[in-house]
Structure 1
Amino acid sequence: MALIALAMTALGGCAGATGPWVELGGQRFFVEIADSDEERARGLMFRDTMARDRGMLFLFERQEPQAFWMRNTRIPLDIFYFDAQRRLVSVAAGVPPCTTPRCPSYPSAGPAQYVLELNAGLSRELKTVAGDAITFSPDIDAQLAGSLDSR
């Protein structure tokens, strides 16, 4: 009986995770979407923690060089840059928090259209390399298709 209860608890935790997700390196991460200038500027600022299976996906209208900084971000992150074909361009791994007025910038190694922020250390754990693909959940794809239709 204890085994059944343990299994039900584990399944219950999975069932509670809903909303947009991405898959990278065979793992699924539930993401908040930042698709406006205001949301992209705020990002993950002022947060003290983020669950291991969570992240933030930044959507840009076009593919171009991107650069992120960690102003008022309190948790170390890995920043993944993806091109329009959803292939990994580069990773800024283990980017530390920054609470000073002058924070360094972490640029992509080439043009990117999508940026994923996850907890620091996951790029190493997932063994990501340039060219790896990211998969978006159907609701993210629908949002992207809708934004193309409105142009």
Structure 2
Amino acid sequence: MRLLVLLALLGLLALAQGLTFPRSTLYVEGNGKRYPLKVEVADTPERQAQGLMFRKSLGEDEGMVFLFPTPTAGGFWMKNTLIPLSIAFFNREGIVLRILDMAPCRADPCPVYYPGVVYQGALEVNQGWFQRRGLKEGARVGGEALRLWPR
């Protein structure tokens, strides 16, 4: 719980400082098709803490990719996130391990969404994006954004 409080404080601090995100592209492959996305990259603890907080909308083929330097099993929460999201957790090879839907949360207590797997990246998009394309666990994430993976 202390970690979540720290991340929330980092997120609010980052927001107050006008934190910006690198922009890039990636794709999700599955069912023999490739689906491109424009993404913002959350590659630092400050960017990861802010995420999509306070955003009022997200384009249909837009998202945010979270890239972690080492494998993690941590959860995501939706504190101050106004948009319903779907999140795909993937490994360093880009293989999607779990997809979850997450609901907006404006007031504590906000639920924490744990994937139940060890992952190194996560992709947030509008809720239902994966389902509308028939994408499931085992799909693959790739593209330019992954070149920004912290080492």
TM-score range, shorter chain: 0.7 to 0.9
TM-score (norm 2): 0.78
Q: Which amino acid aligns with 2:105?
A: C
Q: SS of the counterpart of 2:104?
A: coil
Matched, 1:134 2:141: yes
Select 1:23's aligned residue among 15, 20, 27. Answer: 27
Asked whether the 8 Å contact 2:43–2:148 carries over to 1, the reply is no
Letter in 1 for 2:140: A
Tell me which structure has the larger Cα radius of gyration: 1
The percent identity for this pair of structures is 30
Q: How many residues in Structure 1 have an aligned counterpart in Structure 2?
A: 125
Specify the alignment match of 1:40 in structure 2.
48
Give 1:63 shift: 1.3
Give every structure 1 segment of 4 or more consecutive aligned residues whose post-TM-superposition deviation is greater than 3 Å: none
Distance in 2 (CA, whole Å) between partners of 1:91 and 1:136 is 19
Shift of 1:64: 1.9
TM-score by length of 1: 0.78
The structural deviation recorded for 1:24 is 1.0
- The answer to whether the Cα contact below 8 Å between 1:89 and 1:109 also exists between their aligned partners in 2 is no
Distance (Å, rounded) in 2 between the aligned partners of 1:143 and 1:124: 27
More helix by share: 1
Unaligned runs of 5+ in 2: 1-22
Q: RMSD across aligned C-alpha pairs, in angstroms?
A: 1.3
Q: Is the 8 A contact 2:26 2:146 kept in 1?
A: no
Q: Aligned partners of 1:135, 1:142: CA distance in 2, in Å?
A: 9
